[in-house]
Amino acid sequence: MENMSLKCPVTIKAKVTETLKKQLAAEIQDNIKKADMELQQIEFHAKRVMTEQAKHDVQGLNAIRQQIDAEKQKRLEFKNHMLERLKETAQLELGAEIVQGNLERIVTVQVGDDLHKIMGTEILLEDGKIIAFRS
């Protein structure tokens, strides 16, 4: 065998700009709004379910209340996490680089190739445009 094809990770990084900070903040704020809407829906649904349950089986009220509280807690934890991310986003320094994700690429390697160099590939973006390939 003279060569081999491998799937290798590619790290996607973005250079922090005002545009990126605004975009990240907007996405986070959308997630916060969705969490708030879900909390309102849970509360509305909870009142209806609790009323129905009280008519049929008072014993099951406690179990339903626990389920509802658990769902509300998940949304509140998510919302708090998003609020923390919003603070972190505001503190990002312009020009810094942040990881935005990972992709994979197919690479053909041969005996003697530097695998560490191939595995450490990055793409750098600035406002969504590729500005550099790094290995």
Do 9 and 45 belong to one domain? no
Shared domain check, 26 and 74 = yes
pLDDT at 61: 77
Regarding whether 135 and 103 lie in a shared domain, the answer is yes
Same domain for 89 and 25: yes
Question: What is the predicted pLDDT for the residue at 64?
Answer: 82
How many domains in the chain? 2
d(CA 33, CA 83): 11
- Structure token digits, residue 130: 């590729």
Q: Where are the beta strands (DSSP E) in 34-128?
A: 97-110, 122-126
pLDDT at 25: 96
Determine the Cα–Cα distance for residues 109 and 135; give it in Å rounded to an integer. Answer: 14
35 plus 87 within the same structural domain: yes
Taking the chain (135 residues) in runs of 10, the rounded mean pLDDT of each run is 91 96 96 95 87 74 85 95 95 95 93 88 94 91
Confidence at residue 116, expressed as pLDDT on a 0 to 100 scale? 87
Indicate if 7 and 28 belong to the same structural domain: no
Q: State the number of CA atoms in the 13 A half-sphere of 20 facing the CB.
A: 21
Domain of residue 107, residue span: 1-17+96-135
Res 56: pLDDT: 75
Cα 31 from Cα 63, distance rounded (Å):
29
Q: Which pLDDT belongs to residue 12?
A: 97
